[in-house]
A and B are shown apart, each in its own frame.
Chain A
Amino acid sequence: MTANAGPRGLAKGLHRALLLVLAAAFLLPLLWMVAASLQPQGKALEYGMFQFPEGLHPENYPQALAQMGGFGRLLLNTTLLTLACIAGQLFCCSLAGYAFARLRFPGRDGLFLLVLATMMLPPQVLAIPQFLFFRQLGLIDTFYPLILPTVLGGAPFFIFLFRQYFLTLPVELAEAARVDGCGFFGTYFRIMLPLAKPVVGTVAIFTFLATWNDFWAPLIYLNSEDKQTLSLALASFNQSYRVAVEWLMAGSSVILAPCALVYFLTQGWFLRGVRLSGKG
C-alpha cells in the first residue's frame, strides 16, 4: 500500500500537525464530557474545563447509574435487544443481498431499485402507521416493534452492502457448489456466507451502534419499568433541570464506553467490509 501523499520530511510534519489539530478539535467535547462527569454536583459549569478545585468525584458514576434505576436490568434489556437485532439483520439482509447479487429472476433490478428507494422514506412518515399496526396486533410495550421493522425491510443499506460484496465473489464458486449438489440455500449458507465475514462484521457493528443508541423507538413503544433501555433511561434525565449535568455526563460516558471499545477492537474488520463492498 503506497501512500498517495507520500508524507516524508516536511510533508510528514505537516500531516502530523494537521492530524493533531483536528484530533484535538474532535476530542475536546468528549474530554469535556468526561471532565464534567467528575466535577462535584452542580459545579461542572462553574469551573473551567480542566480545573478540579474540589478534586475528582468519581462517585457521580454509581449515583448516576442508581438514578437510572436497575442498571442490571437496563443493560440486560439493551444487550438482548441489540443481539436480537444483529442476528435478525445478518440473516435477512444477507439472504436478500445474495438473491440480488447471485440469483437470476425477472424484475430483479427493478426490485433492487425499490430497495434503495425505501432509504429515502423519512422514518417519520412510517412511525405512526407502524405504531397503529403494532397496537392492532397488541404488541405495544413489547420488544417486537423494536426488532421486526428494523430486521425486516428496514435495512436497505445493509442489503446493498451484502449485494455489492457477493458480486465481488467469483461466480465459479457458486457454480462449483451447485455441481457438487448443493441447493441454492446450501450454496448461500455453506459457501458464500462464510466468505462474507467482513460484511457480516460491518453490518453487525453498524447494527450494534444503531440499536444501542436508539432512543426514539424505545420511547414510543416501551413503557413498563422492566423493559426500559439504557439510552431511554439516560434520556429521561436529560431534559430535567433537576438532574445534575455531572450525572448526565457520567451516564453518557458509561453508555458510550462499550460502543467505543467495540469499535476500536473491530475497526479493521469494519473498514475491510466497507471497502470490499465498495469495489463492485
Chain B
Amino acid sequence: MKRLSLFLFPIFLLQFWLGTAFSSFAFATAQAQLPATEDQDPVVLRVMVHERWFDGFRYLEQTAQEFERSHPGVRVEIQSSASAAGGQDKVKFVLAGRLPVDVTWIDITEFAAFLQEDVLLDLQEYFDRDPNWRPEDYFPQILDAIRNFDGHLYGLPSTFTPYVMYVNQSLLAQEGLAQPADDWTWKDLKRVARAVTRDLDEDGEADQWGISITQWLQALSPWIWQNGGRFLDENGRCALAEKEAIEAVDFLVDLLHREKLSSRDATFEAQLTFGAFQAGKTAFYGPVGYWETYRFKDIGRLQWDWPQAMGWQPTLQKGVGEQRKWQLPEVEGAWAAQSYAVQDRQALQQVLAARLAGFRNGRIGESEMMQSVGGGKHPLTLFRQRGDLEAADGRLWPDWMYLAGLLQTEPGWVLAELFGPGEAIAGLESGFRQSLAQAEVQGFRWDVMPLPRGKETATAVAMRFYVVPKTSRHPQLAYEFVRALAGDTMQAGLARIGNGVPGLKRAALSRDFLKPTVPPHRERVFLDVLENARFMPVEVNWREIEKQTKAVFEDAIRLGRRSAEEVCVEAAALANETLDRERWLLQRPPLPRSWFLYAQYSPAALFLLWFLSRRLRSKDRLAAREERAAWWFLTPWVLGFLLFLAGPALVSAILSFSEWSPVRDPDSARWLAGHQYQRLWQDGTFHDSLRITAYYAVFAVPLQLGLALLLALLLKPRFPGVGAFRTLFYLPTIISPVILGAVWRWLFAGKQGLEQGLFNQLLALFGIAGPDWLEDPVWVVPAFVLLSLWSVGAQMLVFLAGLQGVDPRLYEAARLDGAGAWARFRNVTLPAISPLLLFNLIMGLIQAFQVFAQAYVMTGGGPGNESRFLVLYLYEQGFRFLRMGYASTLAWVLFAVVLLLSLLILRSSSKWVHYAGAGR
C-alpha cells in the first residue's frame, strides 16, 4: 500500500498540473505573441517611473528613444508604475519581488527607509567616472537631499517643489487690501486674514476666510521650523514637545479654531473636490507645493486663441499666410492650439502696427496682442541669459520676469523686431496690466508668494528622484538612463506641463518652467525660497512617524478637540516609541537561516509523511478503493491548502512573533518573541481601529441583513421586469471596490467645497443641511455604513434563493389558519430561512471586519484615525511602513476576533436557527 502511494503522488502532481494546463497553455500562447527579447541581445533596460496616463509620458518615450539611438543595441522597456496604491507601494512590491528593474523613482520621504533596507545602488562611483557630470547643473540643496550620510549621491531629481503660499489677489483687492510683501510675517498673515474673514450671508458662520491651511505633516513642518522648532533633537529624540513646536501648532489652532480665520478645507486627501480657495473664498492657501498650479492654471490664463478673439482669421488665412498646425510636439496647451506660418511679412507688419496703436491706447488687451507668429528667427536673447535673471532686482523681478518671458514668445519678438525692444516692452507692459485687470473680472487672479516668516525662514520640499535598484542587471546603462531622465528633454518637458520644478537648473530658468502666459506669474518664487528649504529627518521609519504624528495632530489642527500642547506631547511620545523600537529591533537575534523555506513547506512535508505512513483504515476492498478515489478527488484542494494556505499561514504566524521588511530577504527577519502581541495593548492606533471596525460592524451587519431581506421579499413575487430589478439591486456588488470608493467619494462631497455631493443635494431637497461626510469624525463611519448598504446584492440573492425554496404549502396552511401577512412572515418565512440568516450573518461579519479598499480610496483613514479600519491599518504597517511582522500580528488578531464572534453566533444559533426536518 505504502509503495503504491509513493508511486501515486507524482501522478497527483501531474493531475494538478493538468488541471491548470488550460491556463498555462492560454498564457503561453498569449506571451508567445510578444517578441521574445530576453536579456541576451538586445540589452533590455527596464524602467519604471511615470505612469502611462501621465501627461508627460511622451517625454519619457522621447527620452527612451533618444537613449536607444545613442546606445545602439539597447532597448528601453517602460513599465507601468501603477500609482494606484498610494504611489510608492508598487515600487515596494517590485523591489520586494526582486524584479530586474533597472531604473525606478522614489519619494524623498522614503529615502531613509530604502537606504536602510539596502536596496538602492550607490551611484557615487558612476558619477565620479563620468566626465560629463557637472553637479552645478542641479540645485545644490536638491542634490544634497539625495546623498547618504557619507555624501554619496544615489540618484538625480525628477521634479521637486518647495512649499509656498498661494494668494487670491482678486479677493485681496476686493477687500481693499494690499498683497503683503514677500518678507511678510505670521503677524501680517493674521492681520490680513482677520480683515478678509467675513460672514457674507450672515448665518453666524464665516463663509469667506483669510486662509485655507493645509494639514498634512510636510505642510505643517514649515510652521514648526519657522518658529525655531524641530522634529529631532541632537540626540535623535523627537523634539515636537518643545516649546517652539507647541507654539507653532498653537498658532494654527488659533487660526483654525479660536479665531476661525481658516476654512477647514484643504486636506490633501480631499484634493479632488473643489476647494474653498478655488471657489474664490479664501485669500491664502498653503503651505502647498507647485502641483496645485496644475489645478488652477486654466483660471486666469491668458487667451491665445487670438484669431477668434480678433475676428482676424479670414484675413489672415486669405491674405497673409497659410494656416498650419504647429509641428513641435512639445508646444503645450494654448501654444499647441494653432499657430500661423506667416509668409507675407509686410502684411503682418501693417496689421501689427495697427494693433499696437490700439494696444497703446489701451483699446486692445494683451490677450489680443498675443499672437503666435512663426518664423525662423530666434527670439530676443536680451533677457534670456541666466545672469540677467539673477541680477534682476528682487522687488521688480516678477513683472520683469513676466515681461521678459513675454518677449521670448513669438509675438514678443515680432513686436521687438518691428518696434525695437524698448517699445515692445512698454507695449507688453501695458498689455500685462490690462490682462491682470481682466483676470480680476473673473474674481480669481492668483499667484504664489513665499510663506510668511516666523522667528526663522524655512520651507519644506517635496520631491521624487530617479534611482537604480540593486537588482539592476545593467547598472552602468541604468546610471546613464538616470542621467538622461534628469537631462534636458525630460526636464524641460516636465517643466512645460507643469509637473513641478525641474531639478535641472537650466530647465528651471527657462521659459519652459517660467511659462509667461500661464499663471502663476511668479514661478520664480519656487526657486527663490529654495535656499531656505529643509528636509524631514532621515530616519528609517519616518513614514510611520509621519502618519502617527499627522493622526495625532489632526485632533488639534483639523478637529480642534485637543490643545496644541496635548497633541505635541503625545506625538513626541509616540515618535520616540517608534524610534526606540526601530533601534531596539536591530539588536534582536535573527531567525534561523532559511526559516521561510521550512515553514512554507513543512505542512506539505508533514502531510506527505502522514499520507505515506498511514494505513487505509477502511477494511474491505471496495471501501479502500473509495477512500483512495476520494483523495484523488481532493488532490487539487489539498495541494492548494498545503502550499497556499497552510504554509503561508505558518509563515505568517512566525512573522507575527518577529519583524521583517518585505523588501529584504526573509533571512533578515528578527525574532521578537511576544513583543508584537504586547505592543497591541499600548498601540492607540490599533485600539482606535478595532473600535471603529467594531462600531462599523455593529451597524453595517444588521442593516445589511435587514435591507437584503427586504429586497428579497420584494423581488420574490414574479412580475414583469423582475429580472431587471434583480439585476439592478445586484449590480453594485459587481463593481470593484476601487470604483465604488471613487464614485462614492464624490457622492459624499461635503459643504466646504464648491458644490454639494449628490447626497447632500438630496438632503437639501428636504431642507436638511448634510454634514461634511468624509471630513467629519461623527459622520465618516456612518458614511461607510451607507456605502455598505449599497452592496447587499449577494446577501439578497441568498435570501431570494431561500425564499423561493420555501414550500408553498406552508403558506397555504398558515393562510387557512387565518394568519395575517406579518404572522406568516414571522412563523413561516423566518424559520424557513433562518439557516440562511445565519449564513449571511457570518459572511457579513467576516466582510465587515475586512473593509479595506473603500476606506483606502475614500478617506485613507482620516480624519484623525476615525476611519482607519483594522485592515487598512494592517496594510499600512505591512506595505507602507514595511513592518510585515506587526502586520501579521494584526492579521492574526483580526482572525481571532472574527473566529470568536463567529463561534459565539454559532453557539447561539441553536436557539434561533430552525433546520427543516431531515438532517442538514
Chain A residues with CB under 8 Å of chain B are: 1-7, 11, 15, 18-19, 22-23, 26-30, 32-33, 36, 42, 44-46, 48-49, 67-69, 76-77, 80, 83-85, 87-88, 91-93, 95-96, 98-99, 103-106, 108, 111, 114-115, 118-126, 128-133, 135-136, 140-144, 147-149, 151-154, 159, 183-185, 188, 209, 213-216, 219-221, 223-226, 228, 231-243, 245, 248-249, 252, 255-256, 259-260, 263-264, 267-268, 270-271, 274-275, 278-280
Whether B648 lies near A129 (C-beta < 8 A) is yes
- Chain A residue with Cβ nearest B707: A22
Known contacts A231-B736, A240-B53, A271-B801; is-contact A45 B749 (Cβ 8 Å): yes
Whether B899 lies near A120 (C-beta < 8 A) is yes
Does chain A have a CB within 8 A of B911? no
CB distance from A177 to the nearest CB of B (A): 13
CB distance from A152 to the nearest CB of B (A): 3
Q: Which of B20, B599, B812 has the most CB of A within 10 A?
A: B20
Subset of 11 A-B contacts with CB under 8 Å: A4-B829, A19-B725, A28-B758, A44-B746, A93-B637, A124-B852, A141-B97, A153-B636, A216-B853, A236-B83, A271-B804
The interface residues of chain A lying within 8 Å CB-to-CB of B806 are: 4
Q: Which of B34, B84, B747, B811 contacts A239 (CB 8 A)?
A: B84
Does chain A have a CB within 8 A of B394? no
Whether B742 lies near A148 (C-beta < 8 A) is no
Q: Which of B630, B835, B857, B899 contacts A238 (CB 8 A)?
A: B857
Does chain A have a CB within 8 A of B86? yes
Known contacts A103-B630, A238-B84, A252-B743; is-contact A149 B644 (Cβ 8 Å): yes
Q: Give the complex CA separation of A18 and B51 in angstroms.
A: 46
Whether B634 lies near A96 (C-beta < 8 A) is yes
B862-895 CB mask vs A (1 if < 8 Å, else 0) is: 0000000001001100100000100110011011
- Chain A residue with Cβ nearest B22: A87
Q: Give the complex CA separation of A262 and B802 in angstroms.
A: 23
Q: Give the complex CA separation of A225 and B313 in angstroms.
A: 44
Q: Which of A28, A103, A234 contacts B626 (CB 8 A)?
A: A103
The interface residues of chain A lying within 8 Å CB-to-CB of B825 are: 4
- Chain B residue with Cβ nearest A119: B846
B715-736 CB mask vs A (1 if < 8 Å, else 0) is: 1111000011111111111111
Q: Give the complex CA separation of A129 and B651 in angstroms.
A: 6
Known contacts A7-B717, A152-B644, A275-B805; is-contact A236 B633 (Cβ 8 Å): no
Whether A152 lies near B631 (C-beta < 8 A) is no
Does chain A have a CB within 8 A of B341? no
Whether A46 lies near B644 (C-beta < 8 A) is no
Whether B22 lies near A260 (C-beta < 8 A) is no
Q: Which of A5, A80, A108 has the most CB of B within 10 A?
A: A5
Does chain A have a CB within 8 A of B175? no
Whether B99 lies near A120 (C-beta < 8 A) is no
- Chain B residue with Cβ nearest A115: B637
- Chain A residue with Cβ nearest B874: A124
Does chain A have a CB within 8 A of B323? no
The interface residues of chain A lying within 8 Å CB-to-CB of B627 are: 103-106
Q: Give the complex CA separation of A242 and B271 in angstroms.
A: 10
Does chain A have a CB within 8 A of B640? yes
The interface residues of chain B lying within 8 Å CB-to-CB of A80 are: 23, 26-27, 30
Whether B802 lies near A225 (C-beta < 8 A) is no
Whether A29 lies near B652 (C-beta < 8 A) is no
Does chain A have a CB within 8 A of B195? no
Does chain A have a CB within 8 A of B828? yes
The interface residues of chain B lying within 8 Å CB-to-CB of A3 are: 716-718
The interface residues of chain A lying within 8 Å CB-to-CB of B649 are: 121, 125-126, 129
Whether B801 lies near A120 (C-beta < 8 A) is no
The interface residues of chain A lying within 8 Å CB-to-CB of B640 are: 92, 148-149, 151-154
Tell me the chain B residues, 576-614 only, with Cβ under 8 Å from chain A: 596-597, 599-600
Whether B639 lies near A255 (C-beta < 8 A) is no
Q: Which of B88-96, B147-155, B425-433, B503-511 contacts its partner? A: B88-96
The interface residues of chain B lying within 8 Å CB-to-CB of A140 are: 97-99
Whether A96 lies near B636 (C-beta < 8 A) is yes
The interface residues of chain B lying within 8 Å CB-to-CB of A279 are: 805
**Beyond known contacts A4-B806, A131-B93: 5 more, CB 8 A cutoff:** A124-B894, A215-B853, A241-B291, A242-B294, A259-B735
Does chain A have a CB within 8 A of B800? yes
The interface residues of chain B lying within 8 Å CB-to-CB of A67 are: 52-53
- Chain B residue with Cβ nearest A141: B99
The interface residues of chain B lying within 8 Å CB-to-CB of A36 are: 746
Does chain A have a CB within 8 A of B133? no
CB distance from A23 to the nearest CB of B (A): 6
Does chain A have a CB within 8 A of B662? yes
Tell me the chain B residues, 57-110 only, with Cβ under 8 Å from chain A: 77-80, 82-87, 90, 93-94, 96-99, 101
The interface residues of chain A lying within 8 Å CB-to-CB of B543 are: none
Whether A228 lies near B80 (C-beta < 8 A) is yes
CB distance from B827 to the nearest CB of A (A): 11
The interface residues of chain A lying within 8 Å CB-to-CB of B811 are: 2, 4
Whether A4 lies near B716 (C-beta < 8 A) is yes
The interface residues of chain A lying within 8 Å CB-to-CB of B398 are: none
CB distance from B719 to the nearest CB of A (A): 8
Q: Give the complex CA separation of A42 and B734 in angstroms.
A: 27
Known contacts A215-B853, A240-B53; is-contact A30 B643 (Cβ 8 Å): no
Whether B78 lies near A225 (C-beta < 8 A) is yes
Whether B857 lies near A4 (C-beta < 8 A) is no
Whether A132 lies near B637 (C-beta < 8 A) is no
Whether B754 lies near A45 (C-beta < 8 A) is yes
Whether B738 lies near A103 (C-beta < 8 A) is no
Does chain A have a CB within 8 A of B531? no
The interface residues of chain B lying within 8 Å CB-to-CB of A15 are: 714, 717
Whether B22 lies near A240 (C-beta < 8 A) is no
Whether B797 lies near A128 (C-beta < 8 A) is no
Whether A152 lies near B899 (C-beta < 8 A) is no
Does chain A have a CB within 8 A of B679? no
Q: Which of B630, B717, B846 has the most CB of A within 10 A?
A: B630
Whether A32 lies near B758 (C-beta < 8 A) is yes
Q: Which of B23, B97, B617, B735 has the most CB of A within 10 A?
A: B23
The interface residues of chain B lying within 8 Å CB-to-CB of A93 are: 637
Known contacts A95-B633, A151-B20, A259-B734; is-contact A122 B891 (Cβ 8 Å): yes
Q: Give the complex CA separation of A76 and B86 in angstroms.
A: 27
Whether B761 lies near A5 (C-beta < 8 A) is no
Does chain A have a CB within 8 A of B214? no
B618-645 CB mask vs A (1 if < 8 Å, else 0) is: 1000010111011111111111110111
B781-817 CB mask vs A (1 if < 8 Å, else 0) is: 0000000001000000110111111101001100000
Whether B805 lies near A185 (C-beta < 8 A) is no
The interface residues of chain B lying within 8 Å CB-to-CB of A233 are: 80
B101-128 CB mask vs A (1 if < 8 Å, else 0) is: 1000000000000000000000000000
Whether A231 lies near B732 (C-beta < 8 A) is no
Q: Give the complex CA separation of A123 and B374 in angstroms.
A: 61
